[in-house]
Amino acid sequence: MKKLLLFGVACCALASRAAYYPDPAHFRIERDIRYAKPDRCVLDVLCPPGKQSGWPTVVWFHGGGLTAGDKRFLPLHDDGIAQVAVRYPFLEKDGSVGVSNILDAAAQAVAWTFDNITSYGGDTNKIFVGGHSAGGYITMMIGLDSQWLGRYGHRPGDLCGLVPVSGQATTHFAVRKARGDVRPQFAPLIDSLAPLYYVDRPGLPPIDCICGDPDFDEWKGRAEENELLIASMKACGHKYARYWRLPHANHTTVLYAAYGYIAYSVRDRVNLIPYRQK
Q: What is the pLDDT, as a whole number, of residue 66?
A: 98
pLDDT tens by residue, 151-207? 999 999 999 999 999 999 999 999 999 999 999 999 999 999 999 999 999 999 999
In the predicted model, is pLDDT for residue 5 greater than 60?
no
Do 162 and 208 touch, CB atoms closer than 8 A? yes
In the predicted model, is pLDDT for residue 4 greater than 80?
no
In the predicted model, is pLDDT for residue 22 greater than 50?
yes
Longest alpha-carbon distance in the chain: 55
How far, in Å, CA of 78 to CA of 91, rounded? Answer: 34
Q: What is the pLDDT, as a whole number, of residue 2?
A: 37
Binning pLDDT at 50, 70 and 90, where does residue 19 land? Answer: low
Read off φ and ψ for residue 94, nearest 5 degrees. -80, 0
- Burial annotation 228-259 (CB, 10 A radius, 16+ → b, else e): bbbebbeeeebebbbbbbbebbbbbbbbbbbb
pLDDT tens by residue, 79-128? 799 999 999 999 999 999 999 999 999 999 999 999 999 999 999 999 99
Q: Give the CA-trace dihedral at 185, 188, 189, 193, to 10 degrees.
A: 80
Whether the model pTM is above 0.75: yes
Q: What is the pLDDT, as a whole number, of residue 72?
A: 95
How far, in Å, CA of 5 to CA of 8, rounded? Answer: 5
Nearest-CA neighbor of 171 among 66, 80, 55?
Answer: 66
Domains of the chain, earliest start first: 2-276 (3.40.50.1820)
Q: Which residues pair with 127 in a beta bridge?
A: 57
Binning pLDDT at 50, 70 and 90, where does residue 277 land? Answer: low
- Burial annotation 129-167 (CB, 10 A radius, 16+ → b, else e): bbbbbbbbbbbbbbbbbbebbeeeebebbebbbbbbbbb
Q: What is the pLDDT, as a whole number, of residue 10?
A: 39
Kindly list the distances between the CA atom of residue 140 and the CA atoms of 2, 20, 24, 120, in Å, as whole numbers in the listed order: 35, 25, 31, 26
Nearest-CA neighbor of 209 among 133, 272, 270?
Answer: 133
Per-residue DSSP letters for 124-179?
A: EEEEEEEEETHHHHHHHHHHH-HHHHHTTT--GGGSSEEEEES--SSS-HHHHHHT
